[in-house]
Amino acid sequence: MRADRTPGAAADEVIDYRAVRFEDVVSDVDVVLDGLGGETAERSLKVLRPGGRLITLPGPDDVPAPRDGVRAVWMLVEPDHLGLREITALVERGALRPVIDTAVPLAEAAKAHETGERGRTTGKIVLTVL
């Protein structure tokens, strides 16, 4: 990722995780921000350069044992009220649209969980409460 030309970040390269394992085509990465944990966190260690850092968000149990020359840490994410208000304003203006893959009734939460574990969704899985 690079953020040197415009505010925010842009992808230098996009990898279709359904077609190729990222660790087979990426290397020498400075930082990996892992939002999944588990096997993905373990695989992410392989793409880091010596001195690189893996930051995982799911929880402390998802921090893999680091390999030589890299660090793995867990980051606690807490709500930022000002940031949440700004995101709300973006949604209300139509500048930010959530992508919803599937909406499932709360009674079928186990089915929603199974769908998410397959890792083949594009967007969020939403539980509906009636």
Question: Is the pLDDT score of 92 beyond 50?
Answer: yes
Does residue 91 sit in the same domain as residue 65? no
Question: Is the pLDDT score of 17 beyond 90?
Answer: no
Question: Which residues form the domain of 122?
Answer: 81-128
Does residue 37 sit in the same domain as residue 58? yes
Instruction: Answer with the one of 34, 59, 77 that is the final residue of a domain.
Output: 77
This prediction's pTM = 0.55
pLDDT for the residue 23:
93
- Picking from 33, 47, 42, the residue whose alpha carbon sits closest to that of residue 75 is 33
pLDDT for the residue 9:
52
Does residue 67 sit in the same domain as residue 100? no
With bands split at pLDDT 50, 70 and 90, how would you rate the model's confidence at 59?
A: confident
Does residue 86 sit in the same domain as residue 66? no
In angstroms, rounded to a whole number, what is the distance separating the alpha carbons of residues 130 and 119? 27
Higher pLDDT, 76 or 24: 24
Does residue 39 sit in the same domain as residue 96? no
Does residue 72 sit in the same domain as residue 85? no
Does residue 26 sit in the same domain as residue 52? yes
Question: Is the pLDDT score of 5 beyond 80?
Answer: no
Mean pLDDT, residues 31-38: 87
Does residue 52 sit in the same domain as residue 15? yes
Question: Is the pLDDT score of 98 beyond 70?
Answer: yes
Structural domains in the chain (count)? 2
Does residue 42 sit in the same domain as residue 105? no
Does residue 66 sit in the same domain as residue 119? no
pLDDT for the residue 15:
84
Does residue 40 sit in the same domain as residue 69? yes
Does residue 60 sit in the same domain as residue 86? no
Instruction: Answer with the one of 40, 56, 77 that is the final residue of a domain.
Output: 77
DSSP E strands: which ranges in the chain?
A: 29-34, 48-56, 71-74, 100-105, 124-128
